[in-house]
Amino acid sequence: KVTIRINGKNFLADSEETILQVARNNNIEIDTLCFVKDCMGTQECNVCRVEDLNNNSLIRACATKAYEGLNINTNSKLVQMGKKKVITDLLNNHNLKCYTCKRVSNCEFLELVKKTEAKLHKRKDFSREEYQEDLRSKSISLDRSKCLRCGRCVSACREKSGTEIIKFNDISGEIFVGPENLKCFDSTNCLLCGQCVAACPVGALTEKSHLEKVVDALNNNEKHVIVAMAPSVRTALGEIFKLEMGTDVTGKIYSAMREIGFKKVFDVNFAADITILEEGTELIERIKAGGPFPMFTSCCPGWVRYVENYVPEAIPHLSSAKSPQQIFGAASKSYYPFLENINPEDVFTVSVMPCVAKKFESERPEMENNNIRNIDAVLTTRELGELIKKYGIKFENLNDSEVDPMMGTYTGAGTIFGVTGGVMEAALRSVKDILENNSLENVDYKIVRGFEGLKEATVTIDGNNYNVAVISGGKTISKFFSENMIKNKNYHFVEFMACPGGCINGGGQPYVTPMEKENKDYKNLRGEVLYSQDKNSNLRKSHKNQAVLDMYENFVNKEEHLHHHLFHTTYTNR
Ligand code: HC0
Ligand code: SF4
Ligand code: SF4
């Protein structure tokens, strides 16, 4: 242990710790742009420099280790001047257009501009083609004229998706982030998970916006616009409105959606229960036939892109069931018009997702039935926040309201889909009941909960043992395949999610600030909301969802193969 002085006070520190860590441990804020827990940028942004009072020089807090006698000030005149210079340089290279920028309310750079009172001296010429906003991808937009070259996206791509698609590219002497040769994300092996978007401190990397499409549809009297949110939206949207992390805002979201003017407010959790019936039936068939094993889940579009792009030989292992988003979409253009006696072509279906890859999924050519798209627009959790603000709704003050039940009722099994292990747990509950012809009391599979990248368990169903695994995070997925871990064991069923921790940590969720990443167990806080909804629900098994059973009885089962036509899909070997 060593003693260092920060702003006139002594602190005990490990000699392995950096000044920045010691400061953060003691709740002293030091500004940085590139330093973030678990997606560390270049460590060269120079914003975190503090004054070494022993020789009146500036040193980088993120790169200097604590040593005995170190005496620093984090906010001296020298520090302030140095920071202002760094921010001014960045400002001169930044296409400042806050009035149209999605990040204006939470831009880390803009905060520093205000704080240092840096002024723009000479606006850079952004006419180079590379600076035109890149809107080619169906999921991710990139405006390189706002990029600070902090490297947080490069690191998030490497550490979270494990793909290293985003790089620093030197093009005629200037550095540009993006895929090699600045290709469109969609035509590379990118998973489109959006972990890079979540890591960006400014409005350079963002989701491809569908807000305008949604507002246009809402303003079009000929359209019957309906909406449904994914499991993990309800546990995070409150953060945008400054509610505590881990606040369940399900009822407020339903109210907000009605105020906005959606004709019906449904829930993707309803479709998650359908997924379990379809995927569970597939698993049961495989169990009865003795294989082929393992079966892989197919609801995460980032994971599906992983299989298609990196391990196409594994395509036959993917369940053919569509994701809950797409099952919801298919039902919204068939069962719903049947119930309401309206023309399917007049229905405009909006889903709200914690995910940017879901935008790509909704536009896959397979995702239509009878030439009608399953889903018309996909908003991220952040975009729903924007929409609520646009309509002038005071979200924090809203009362709770109920979902429209015919395609909104859901079980606890449906809601835990949003967190890693949830799809597995939901499937086991139903498959075990059905195969054992029983209604089991104990439905908690705690062994598949938690945030480790790889979780494994052996489950006994009807006297036989089955090996299951749950994998989240692209990096763990690629380790699983590159180390051929699939050969380690005779796996029967494996759940995969591209984002570490599952959708609660998706690339479309509200931004988590670097300080919050340091001090809050945000994945756990968000996940707990879903587990407690499940625990408090009186229905915790998908096959007991009466609204779903009604749909099968009154509509889907009336026509042979209709369930297959609507709720299953195919994959592409590129
Ligand atoms: Fe998920 Fe989903 S749980 S992928 O993580 O399966 O996005 O929340 O909506 O579709 O239900 C995301 C979350 C979903 C789907 C569901 C699944
Ligand atoms: Fe303004 Fe930040 Fe957007 Fe730049 S990235 S235009 S500073 S809000
Ligand atoms: Fe999207 Fe969820 Fe998959 Fe992440 S884990 S890519 S949020 S579906």
Quick: pLDDT tens for 439-474.
998 899 999 999 999 999 999 999 999 999 999 999
Nearest to 470, CA basis, from 271, 296, 280, 281: 296
- Residue 39 appears among annotated catalytic residues: no
- Is the pLDDT score of 325 beyond 80? yes
- Is the pLDDT score of 392 beyond 80? yes
- Segment 503-519 shows an average pLDDT of 94
- Residue 282 appears among annotated catalytic residues: yes
Q: How much is the pLDDT for 222? A: 97
Q: Which of 308, 363, 366, 518 is catalytic?
A: 366
Out of 5-14, 219-228, 319-328, 515-524, pick the least confident: 515-524
Spatial separation of the C-alpha atoms in residues 341 and 338, rounded to whole Å: 5
Our answer on whether the CB atom of 94 is closer than 6 Å to any ligand 2 atom is yes
Categorize the per-residue pLDDT at 40 as very low, low, confident or very high, splitting at 50, 70 and 90.
Answer: confident
Phi, psi (5° rounding) for residue 426? Answer: -65, -40
User: Which residue's alpha carbon is nearest to atom 4 within ligand 2?
Assistant: 96
Nearest to 292, CA basis, from 492, 434, 464: 492
Categorize the per-residue pLDDT at 37 as very low, low, confident or very high, splitting at 50, 70 and 90.
Answer: confident
Spatial separation of the C-alpha atoms in residues 333 and 336, rounded to whole Å: 6
- Is the pLDDT score of 574 beyond 80? no
Q: How much is the pLDDT for 14? A: 95
Tokens of 197: 């978007």
- Is the pLDDT score of 41 beyond 90? no
Q: How much is the pLDDT for 155? A: 96
- Segment 258-282 shows an average pLDDT of 98
Our answer on whether the CB atom of 337 is closer than 6 Å to any ligand 2 atom is no
In angstroms, what is the span from residue 274 Cα to ligand 1's centroid?
Answer: 12
Q: Which of 83, 264, 503, 541 is catalytic?
A: 503
Whether omega for the bond prior to residue 354 falls within 30 degrees of 0, making it cis, is no
Out of 374-388, 401-415, 512-526, pick the least confident: 512-526
Q: Which of 51, 279, 383, 425 is catalytic?
A: 279
Q: How far is C-alpha 237 from the geometric centre of its chain's CA atoms? A: 12
Spatial separation of the C-alpha atoms in residues 220 and 130, rounded to whole Å: 36
Q: Which of 34, 39, 147, 299 is catalytic?
A: 299
- Residue 560 appears among annotated catalytic residues: no
Tokens of 427: 């499937």
User: Which residue's alpha carbon is nearest to atom 2 within ligand 3?
Assistant: 503
Angstrom CA distances, 18 to 32, 60, 70, stand at 14, 9, 12
Contact 16, 29 (CB under 8 A): no
Our answer on whether the CB atom of 235 is closer than 6 Å to any ligand 1 atom is no
Whether omega for the bond prior to residue 292 falls within 30 degrees of 0, making it cis, is yes
Q: How would you classify residue 464: left for phi > 0, otherwise alpha for psi between -120 and 50, otherwise beta?
A: beta
Spatial separation of the C-alpha atoms in residues 302 and 477, rounded to whole Å: 11
Testing ligand 3's pocket by substitution, the residue of 303, 503, 504, 509 carrying the most ligand atoms inside 8 A of its CB is: 503
Q: How much is the pLDDT for 518? A: 86
Residue 230 CA: which ligand 1 atom is closest? 9
Categorize the per-residue pLDDT at 488 as very low, low, confident or very high, splitting at 50, 70 and 90.
Answer: confident
Q: Which ligand is nearest to the CA of 530?
A: 1
Tokens of 205: 């990397």
Our answer on whether the CB atom of 114 is closer than 6 Å to any ligand 2 atom is no
Spatial separation of the C-alpha atoms in residues 233 and 529, rounded to whole Å: 11
Spatial separation of the C-alpha atoms in residues 384 and 381, rounded to whole Å: 5
Spatial separation of the C-alpha atoms in residues 119 and 202, rounded to whole Å: 18
Q: The pTM is what?
A: 0.96
Contact 319, 297 (CB under 8 A): yes
- Residue 299 appears among annotated catalytic residues: yes
Spatial separation of the C-alpha atoms in residues 362 and 278, rounded to whole Å: 19
Residue 202 CA: which ligand 2 atom is closest? 5
Nearest to 450, CA basis, from 475, 425, 430: 425
- Segment 184-202 shows an average pLDDT of 98
- Segment 165-191 shows an average pLDDT of 97
- Residue 358 appears among annotated catalytic residues: yes
Length of the chain (residues): 574
Residue 275 CA: which ligand 1 atom is closest? 6
Contact 542, 231 (CB under 8 A): no
Nearest to 400, CA basis, from 521, 503, 256, 552: 256
- Segment 354-373 shows an average pLDDT of 98
Q: What percent of the chain has pLDDT over 90?
A: 95
Q: How much is the pLDDT for 515? A: 87
- Segment 429-435 shows an average pLDDT of 96
